[in-house]
Every structure is written in structure tokens, then in C-alpha cells.
Amino acid sequence: GARVIGAMILSILLMVMDHRFHQTETLRSTLSVLTYPIQFLAEAPNSIGRWVTETLQTRDDLQQSNRRLNRENLKLKAELQQLAALQAENERLRDLLGSAYKIGNRVLVAELSAMDLDPFRQQIVIDKGSNSGVFEGQAVLDAHAVMGQVAHVSPLNATVLLITDVEHSLPVQVLRNGLRTVAVGTGSINKLEMPYLPNNADIRPDDLLVTSGLGGKFPPGYPVARVTAVKRQPGKPFATVLARPLAQLDRTREALLVWEVNVPPEFPEEEQAEPAAKKAVPETETTAP
């Protein structure tokens, strides 16, 4: 009994130190490296099962899949051509408006190693860590929308906190009118809540929510969720707004890690400030008597 009580006290102290003071990050990284073979062996039956299933697919299934992929590839190439034209037009408009910077995003594909979707903690583990450049707070997406952000990093893997976790909040805006708000996780895999919108806010069902870029965690413009319900009750200051995440949080097998790249301005600020200083102080012409 004394050993059990001692172990409980030690566990509570370690949890407090980890949550409040972040004193166990080095120990966590070391243990994650040591336990990585165990995680690999635990995931091995699932990986082997997927490999056997894919190997035993019939020839007809492979041909149908190949035709479908060819159609999707053709469609994506057409959309990519349009995207390239829009990007070039955006660059020209930025040049005309004298924009100081341009933004591009670099991504890295990672595979899921583990998943935890209970109501109190919704997170996944991916097979990329600090050795691949992953950092805490990094945005994570799937092929459809935003999934979450990196919460803990070790050399070989990382833990991603999903946007539906009760402790996660994400600055978003309505694509239709630019209305900004915060999407908060509810603990349900298919539900987000916007608790800070007044009753007269211009938001309606089927509105698309995208990242606003505020806070610096998520690049702006990525899809997040679609509004499913808006309830306005007289006498209450805020409306009840619910949304459904667009990311396939419970089905996806790959994730995209996003780096936001800021390109420096073409002209340094010092060179831009020098002509302004010359205009502020007019030159006086002196002539000999």
C-alpha cells in the first residue's frame, strides 16, 4: 500500500511539473525515442494488414482505381493551371499595391502512428519529429482542411492536438463576409462551437469558415469547417453557432505539416525611408552675392 501511494504521489508531481513548468520535455523526448520500437511493433499488424489487402486486390479493382486516379489527376491539373494564373494575377496586384511581402507555404507529408479520440483528449501521433524540422504550434492539415496543431515534439514523432479537442481554439473568419470569430473544440469529432458571436452577427448555416491568420499559428485562408446550426435566443447576448469540421479527423491516414514562408520585401525599409526623409526636409538653394 505504501508503494502504491508513493507511486501515485510521484505521478501527480510529474504531471504537475510537465503541465505547469515544462520540466520533463527532455525526459519525454528521451523516452519517446526508447519507446519508438514498441510503437512500431504495435503498428506493425495494421501495416501488414494494409499491405496484404493492397497486394491481394484484383486486377479489375486496380484498373478501376487507375482510371479514377487518371480522371482526378486530369481535373487537378486543370485546377492547377487556373491556380497558377490566379497566383500570377495576385503577384501583379501585390506589386501594383506596393505590398511589402509575399507568402508561400512549404509542406511535409506525415503518416499517422496512433489516434486518441476520447471526449477528454482528441489527438493523433505522426511519424515526423524534430529531426524533420517539426516544431510545437505548427499547423497540421489533411487533404481537405485544417486538422490541428503540434502539441509535443520528439526527435522521431510528434503529437497533434485536433481542432475538436476541448482545450483547442482557432481564430477563423466567415469566407462570405469576413466576420471574425473563434472556433472552439467541443470534444465531439464532428462538432465545433463559436461561443462569442452576438445575436445580430451576420452568420448563417452553410457558411464556410477559414483560418483568419490571427495569432500567427495558422496561415490565413485554409478551410476549417462549415456552419451547421445558428440559434438566436432573445434575452441572451450571444448566439449558439455550431459547425462541422471539413477535415476527415477520424478517417485520414496522412497529414500535412505546414511551414509559412515570408519572403522579404524587394526594397529594404532603410531604402524606402531615405526618399521620405529627403522629402520631409526641403533643400534650400544658395546663391553667391
| pLDDT-wise least confident of 50-54, 84-88, 136-140 | 84-88
| pLDDT-wise least confident of 149-153, 182-186, 234-238 | 234-238
Is 0.75 topped by the overall pTM?
Answer: no
Distances (CA, A) of 82 to 78, 79, 85: 7, 5, 5
pLDDT at 168 over 80: yes
**Phi, psi for residue 274 in degrees, rounded to 5:** -65, -45
Contact 224, 181 (CB under 8 A): no
Query: pLDDT by residue (tens digit) across 247-260?
Result: 988 888 888 898 87
What value does the mean pLDDT take over residues 229-233?
90
What value does the mean pLDDT take over residues 18-32?
74
What value does the mean pLDDT take over residues 253-271?
60
Please, what is the average pLDDT of the chain? 80
pLDDT at 117 over 70: yes
Confidence of residue 243 (pLDDT cuts 50, 70, 90): very high
The DSSP bridge partners found for residue 24 are: none
- Cα–Cα distance between 31 and 18 in angstroms, integer? 14
What local confidence, expressed as pLDDT, does residue 228 receive? 95
What's 103-262's CATH class?
A: mainly beta
pLDDT at 274 over 50: no
- Which contacts of 225-231 are long-range, i.e. CB under 8 A and separated by 24 or more positions? 225/145, 225/172, 225/183, 225/192, 227/174, 227/203, 229/205, 230/203, 230/204, 230/205
Q: How many other C-beta atoms can be found within 10 angstroms of the C-beta atom of residue 238?
A: 14
- For residue 139, what are the contacts with CB-CB under 8 A and spacing of at least 6? 146, 149, 217, 218, 219, 222, 257, 258, 260
| pLDDT-wise least confident of 108-117, 120-129, 202-211 | 108-117
Q: Which residue has the higher pLDDT, 273 or 6?
A: 6
Torsion, Cα 36 41 43 49, to 10 degrees, reads 160
Reduced 3-state DSSP string for the chain? CHHHHHHHHHHHHHHHHHHHHCCCHHHHHHHHHHHHHHHHHHHHHHHHHHHHHHHCCCHHHHHHHHHHHHHHHHHHHHHHHHHHHHHHHHHHHHHHHCCCCEEEEEEEEEEEEEEEEECCEEEEEECCCHHHCCCCCCEEECCCCEEEEEEEECCCCEEEEECCCCCCEEEEEECCCCCEEEEEECCCCCCEEECCCECCCCCCCCCEEEECCCCCCCCCCCEEEEEEEEECCCCCCECEEEEEECCCCCCCCEEEEEEEEEECCCCCHHHHHHHHHHHHCCCCCCCCC
| pLDDT-wise least confident of 24-38, 129-143, 236-250 | 24-38
pLDDT at 235 over 50: yes
Residue percentage of the chain with pLDDT more than 90: 26
What local confidence, expressed as pLDDT, does residue 36 receive? 79
What local confidence, expressed as pLDDT, does residue 39 receive? 80
| Domain range list for the chain | 2-55, 103-262
What local confidence, expressed as pLDDT, does residue 143 receive? 82
pLDDT at 268 over 50: no
What sign for the dihedral angle of Cα 147, 153, 159, 163? negative
pLDDT at 209 over 80: yes
Confidence of residue 169 (pLDDT cuts 50, 70, 90): very high
- For residue 254, what are the contacts with CB-CB under 8 A and spacing of at least 6? 109, 110, 111, 112, 142, 143
